[in-house]
Amino acid sequence: MPTLDEQLEVLMSGAEYGDPQTRENMRRELRERLVEAEREGRPLRVYAGFDPRTADLHLGHTIPMRKLRQFQEFGHDVTFLIGTFTSLIGDPSDKDKARDQLTREQVEENARTYSEQAFKILDSNLTRVRHNDEWLSTLDFADIIRLASNFTVQQFLVRENFARRIDAGQPIHLHELFYGLMQGYDAVAQEADVQVGGQDQLFNILVAGRKLQEGMGQKPQIAIIMGESLPGTDGEIKMSKSLGNHIPLMAEPWDMFGKVMSVPDKAMPAYFKLILGRSPAQMTELRDGLASGNLHPNEVKMELAREIVSIFHSPEAAQAAQARWDEVFRGGSGVPTDIPEAMLSADERVTDVLRRLDMVASSGEARRLIEQRGVKLNDQPVEDVFIVVKLSDLPVVLQVGKRKFVRLVSGN
């Protein structure tokens, strides 16, 4: 087992707070808590929360999960917390307007596979899975007033995103202030020693959680705030499903491989560091190799895609995904041999086919892709949003973008 100081180095790696003194305070408190836990013969209670606002977790979510895994490997008690109650409101931390409120049924459906997805990173035998409606749904109005008395309105309104909205004359709804209060109570309910989260969680963890624990007579948790966010497939903005630049953990191997291959070259180092956990020495070697030309960006990206698919599926799935990629993009016909088939029983507009087969999220997206020449029939761009696929023309191959194919056949 590594020494306490060696554990401390690992556990604090990647943590950033925007203030060196805060980082030093958290490091000192974590060391003290580790010493205390060792003396008492108990593990630290560590958790991170994930709100099921959507059904998919994505690669960006795995960054705090990997930190939880480090705590697991050092023998600590790790909880994967599913925010079945907090997600009814949605965290306003990095939003410029109030989120839509979900129903309980939507949340429960979204949360259905969350633990399965998390276990692609966490050890299922060592992970406690909890839902925060266990304690938040039982609070009454008197409890809420008592919890809220620990804070001032000013503490919430000085937050950057709220301050921006005030300056822009945009509304801040009262229920949005409750989110930090609820997340703070998550720490109280679990008597947490450590909470892990991203930069957008800085206030909720470092201020709300710690202050509420102190107000309830508990030792304040140590905040491990991950410093870097994973850029999305656009290479610019933090990965987010709402922006459509995400790579879902549940994506099929071929789709996951293709999405990684679409990441701009400049974003590759972030993926090697944050998803594959490359060491500083390895990162230096990678950057130097790319800069000197000794490493070809496309071959490096192939390696990245193979490793990511191997992690979330299997090495065999990664090999098959690369074989399919090579077939389509390295001199093949451009059409995979194993594409699925779908039947048409009557003439049908291309936009309707795309929606019916879930190849696009909306009719608007279908029209936009056609206008951008991103939809093809038998490798010819579709240029008219009103074009009809006729039964007499079947079979034909319908393609969306570079990775979605279907062979349309007659159902008569």
**Helix 297-312 and helix 280-292: axis angle, to 10°?**
140
Burial of 194 (0-12, 13-18, 19+ CB in 10 A): buried
In a domain, residue 54? The reply is yes
3-state secondary structure of 354: helix
Q: State whether 194 and 322 are in the same domain.
A: no
Q: Which pairs with CB-CB distance under 8 Å and at least 24 residues apart come from 140-146?
A: 144/178, 144/181
Q: State whether 92 and 190 are in the same domain.
A: yes
Domain boundary among the residues 281, 308, 329 is at 329
Q: State whether 266 and 369 are in the same domain.
A: no
Whether the ω angle into residue 395 lies within 30 degrees of 0, i.e. cis, is: yes
Strand partners, 400: 375, 404
Q: State whether 56 and 191 are in the same domain.
A: yes
In a domain, residue 232? The reply is no
Where in the sequence is the domain holding 382, given as residue range(s)? 341-410
Q: State whether 280 and 220 are in the same domain.
A: no
353 residue type, one letter: V
Average pLDDT over every residue of 237-260: 87
DSSP tag of 195: E
Indicate whether 332 pLDDT > 70: no
Q: State whether 321 and 349 are in the same domain.
A: no
Q: State whether 151 and 102 are in the same domain.
A: yes
pLDDT over 70 for what percent of the chain?
94
Cβ contacts of 32 within 8 Å, gap of 6 or more: none
In a domain, residue 237? The reply is no
CA distances, 7 to each of 17, 73, 76, 314 (Å): 20, 10, 11, 30
In a domain, residue 393? The reply is yes
d(CA 376, CA 407): 12
Average pLDDT over every residue of 241-259: 87
- What was the pLDDT predicted at 121? 93
Q: State whether 146 and 10 are in the same domain.
A: yes
Banded model confidence at residue 86, pLDDT cuts 50, 70, 90: confident
Count up the domains in the chain and report the number. 3
Indicate whether 94 pLDDT > 60: no
- What was the pLDDT predicted at 339? 74
- Over the stretch 274-305, which tens digit does the pLDDT of each residue have? 999 888 899 999 999 999 888 888 889 999 99
